[in-house]
Structure formats: C-alpha cells, structure tokens
Amino acid sequence: MKRRILFVPGKLPYVRGERPKVDCILCAVLRDDPRVDRLVLARDRSVFVTLNLYPYNPGHVMVVPRRHIVDPREATESERRAMALWRDRVMDALDEIYSPAGYNIGYNVGKRSGASLEHLHLHVVPRYKNEIGFLDVLSGTRVIVEEPGVSARKISGFLRKYRGGTKEKKR
C-alpha cells in the first residue's frame, strides 16, 4: 500500500503572502526567472507543466500555454492539442506516483472565478480518499510533509520520458 502523502502549506513562502514581484508569475516561471521558484516539470513548443504555486493538494499541477493568453478560446488548435496531451500525461504521472482517488480538472477564467493568475492555466488537482482538513493538521494526525521540490522531482522524473516534443506536425 502506498504511503499517504500530505503536505503542510505553511512551509511555503508564497503561502505566507510573499508573492514574487513580477508582472506574470507564469511567464516568469517559464523564463526561469530567479525571483520565482523553478518548478517547470516539463515543456514543449507550446505548453509547459508546472507545480501549482498555491497547491490545493500534493501533486497539484498546472498545464500552461507558453503564450500569455487569458481565455481558453484564445488557444490555437495546436495549443489545445498540447494542453490535452499534457493533461493526460500529468494524470498518468500522478496516478503512478500518488495513486489519487480522483481528479478535479479545469480552468478558472476571469476575475470573479477565483483565478489568482490571469495567464491561462489548466488545473489538474488530484483528490485523495482521506484528505485531511485543517483540524486534522492541528491535531497532528498522520501528517506527512512533502516539500514542493520533492513533488517536482518525482513528477518531472516521470514526465522526462516525453522529452523531445509532442511529435506534433507543424501547422
């Protein structure tokens, strides 16, 4: 049986409100800007995969178009295909590493949607059978910390086999 992996978000500087001072965090992540954590797990010509900066659960990953677009309807045909392809690859990786019980997958679009980043990103949120609530954390039951760097290494290790592009034809 796999070990349950839980995560204490208080360990992360950005959860404590220290947001990096850049125009767009996702564009900065893509540029490997030193002011943001380097959490790119995989990339190809049109999209990249990053660990969520404000994780909801361990293994919360985002698939992001390289272009700074804000609405899924702005995506080109090849961006759409690449987003779907990497969504599936990420799910394969998370299944293998964390064996989640399910997923929430989707976009938040627009100011009133809860989106904290304008740059379009597809959330892939693994859901676990026994997710702990805040009180469980306080009572100290079964808390296993996984640092984002550890998640990043595991997931990027799995995605490494796809390096070399999505084998898509140029449009």
Of the listed pieces 13-21, 47-55, 96-104, 118-126, which binds Zn ion according to CB under 5 A?
A: 118-126
| Of 33 and 95, CB closest to Zn ion | 33
C-alpha to C-alpha distance for 135 and 132, rounded to whole angstroms: 8
Among 60, 68, 119, 121, the one annotated catalytic: 121
Interface with Zn ion, residue 22, by CB under 5 A: no
Distances 9 to 30, 76, 79, 146, 148 between C-alpha atoms, Å: 23, 35, 31, 9, 9
Q: Which amino acid is at 108?
A: N
Contact in structure between 120 and 71 (CB atoms under 8 Å): yes
Q: Which of 12, 14, 22, 27 binds Zn ion (CB under 5 A)?
A: 27
3-state secondary structure of 143: coil
Q: Note if 60 is an active site residue.
A: no
Q: Binding to Zn ion (CB under 5 A): which residues in 126-165?
A: none
- Count of residues of this chain found to bind Zn ion when the rule CB under 5 A is applied: 5
Contact assessment for residue 58 and residue 6, using Cβ atoms and an 8 Å cutoff: yes
- Residue 25 binds Zn ion (CB under 5 A): no
The nearer residue to Zn ion, 28 or 97, going by C-beta atoms, is 28
* Active site amino acids: 121
The binding site for Zn ion (CB under 5 A) comprises: 24, 26-27, 68, 119
